[in-house]
Copies of this chain bind each other. A is one copy, B any other.
Amino acid sequence: MKFDVVVIGGGPSGVQTALSARQAYPEKTIALVRREEIALQIGALPHALASLDSVGDCIFPDYLLSQRDIELIFGHVESCDKSTVRLHDSREISYSKLVLAVGGQPNPLSIVGIDQAGVYAITRDYECLKSVRDALHQARCVLLIGGGCTGVEVCNELIRSGKDVTLVESKPDLLSGLIDPEFGQIIRDELVRTGATVVTGCGVRALVGKHSVLGADLDDGRWVTADLVLLTPPFHPDIRLALAMGLRCDSEHGVFVDEYLRTSVPNVHAVGECASGRSFFSAERQRTILTSEAMAQARLAGSNLFAINVAKSYAGSLGSFSCAAGSLVLGVTGLTELKARSIGLEYVVGLAETIDRHPSKLTGASRVVVKLLFDRGSRQLVGAQVLGGESTGECVNMLAVMVQKKMTDMEIDTLQLGTHPLLTPSPLGYGVMGATVDAARHWSSSEHSTLSRSATAPKTSSVKHSNIDGARQTPRQG
């Protein structure tokens, strides 16, 4: 077999690369090589456990490839050289351009008793996820190990399906490293409010069982009863193929790529979880973790395969994602306070609290908390964390555009943004503007705004009776 473009990997970044390549190069032949007979929409895995009628609802529709004349080849890649991909069944595929989109592998967890019956890991495999779902039908008490995004959303799903859930995270906060701790606290409070037990800052010492798991001993001596244990292990970049090909890479960050997603070998590109990104802010090498980053890499790789377009270069990883728990949605883009400090950036915080309906008595109202970080020197927006209702995902995307366009607080003040009683905060209380104005109070001081104690307490039940139609800037503590 011979193709102009061969993409290895059937996850979102592999598919997007193939689609973007098709768009940019209508005449080229394109193949996508995939190990899995059935590929899943991996972002939706938590919802395949309960919200969807079956894991089958989560299957990636392969016709998206065939209808754009992209050949889907099933097979394990055994090896690659600079012009040929060899599959385990000895088939060979020669290529002009190769794209590695092989994703990540789960980190092995070293917990005593992890190999017994009743212990499952959430992986991206169809059959595996089906067996988890089947096992959940029988389970009443579930111990969920890992409080990252997947852990939080799986917890949410299990609660909604009536399980008795204990979520254990060894780090001090949920979504650790991804958001600032006060938002981790709000997410934690929300999971607890909906019925979960949440343990943070404490690992699992051992899983204990007889024929099947019965529970866990925690590091602090507590015992958690569970008839099913679910692991949401972190992933690391899969560099096995890259190593074998002699591409520059390391196990922590993945395959090294430039701003056109080219590896150290001229006609080989890499995108997504297996490719090393770099920070949008510090340009330091970092792992590609989020779909938002992986998809941008894929679009740019796909359109830069045969000739680079300087207007389409990768500017570095931003860190945009959303996470839903209970009735709350948390959206994040750019730097958190923790990350800003870690790269030595001096920042100013702006905070606003508002309601996403006006008047707030309209049905469906959610509390909205907006936290913005501005670079102190340039006054550029460098990060945003938003807590709110269903529109939070797109609100954070708007903020992501502002960050990527390096907008200052003064530019944000000139923007014309629409409001609607049933969809957004009031024109006078639009949270993004409120937080921008709040930040302006601090340009010349070293104090930051912090969420007030009352703002960190869950208020969902009182939202509808609130009179706050204008953004309330939260008082400074201390």
Interface residues of A (CB under 8 A from B): 12, 15-16, 19-20, 23, 41, 43-44, 47, 51-53, 57-58, 60-61, 64, 290-293, 295-296, 299-300, 303, 309, 311-315, 317-318, 320-324, 329, 331, 333, 358-359, 361-364, 390-398, 400-402, 404-405, 407-408, 410-411, 413-424, 426-428, 433, 437, 440, 467, 469-470
Contacts and interface: CB of A to CB of B under 8 A. Distances in A.
B43 A427 contact: yes
A467 B61 contact: yes
B311 A363 contact: no
A321 B59 CA distance: 37
What 7 A-B pairs come out closest when comparing CB atoms? A393-B423, A398-B398, A394-B394, A311-B410, A320-B418, A44-B421, A322-B420
Contact of A390 (B19, B318, B390): B390
A317 B411 CA distance: 15
In this complex, the member of A358, A396, A415 whose beta carbon has the largest number of chain B beta carbons within 10 angstroms is A415
Contacts of A422: 47, 324, 329, 390
A404 B64 CA distance: 33
Given A394-B391, A396-B418, A423 B296 contact: no
A303 to B, nearest CB: 7
Nearest to A412: B401
Contacts of A43: 358, 419-421, 426-427
A300 B410 CA distance: 10
B16 A61 contact: no
Given A47-B422, A428-B64, A400 B414 contact: no
B320 A15 contact: no
The copy count of this chain in the complex is 2
Contact of A470 (B64, B291, B312, B417): B64
A362 B400 CA distance: 26
Given A43-B419, A415-B401, A437 B23 contact: yes
Nearest to A329: B423
A61 B423 contact: no
Contacts of A363: 51
A372 to B, nearest CB: 14
B361 A418 contact: no
Given A43-B358, A290-B416, 20 more contacts: A12-B428, A19-B428, A20-B437, A43-B421, A44-B358, A61-B469, A61-B470, A290-B418, A291-B427, A296-B416, A300-B414, A303-B413, A311-B411, A312-B413, A315-B414, A323-B420, A329-B423, A395-B397, A397-B398, A397-B418
Nearest to A436: B299
B418 A393 contact: yes
A318 B324 CA distance: 33
Contacts of A41: 358-359, 421, 426, 469
A433 B16 CA distance: 11
Contacts of A303: 413
A295 B427 contact: yes
Contact of A394 (B58, B398, B407): B398
A154 to B, nearest CB: 13
A292 B433 contact: no
A259 to B, nearest CB: 10
B359 A423 contact: no
24 contacts: A41-B358, A43-B420, A44-B359, A53-B361, A58-B359, A61-B469, A291-B419, A295-B419, A299-B433, A318-B416, A321-B418, A324-B420, A324-B423, A333-B418, A390-B390, A390-B422, A391-B391, A393-B418, A394-B398, A394-B424, A397-B398, A398-B398, A400-B415, A405-B407
A317 B414 CA distance: 11
Contacts of A52: 359, 361-362
Contact of A417 (B16, B292, B417): B292
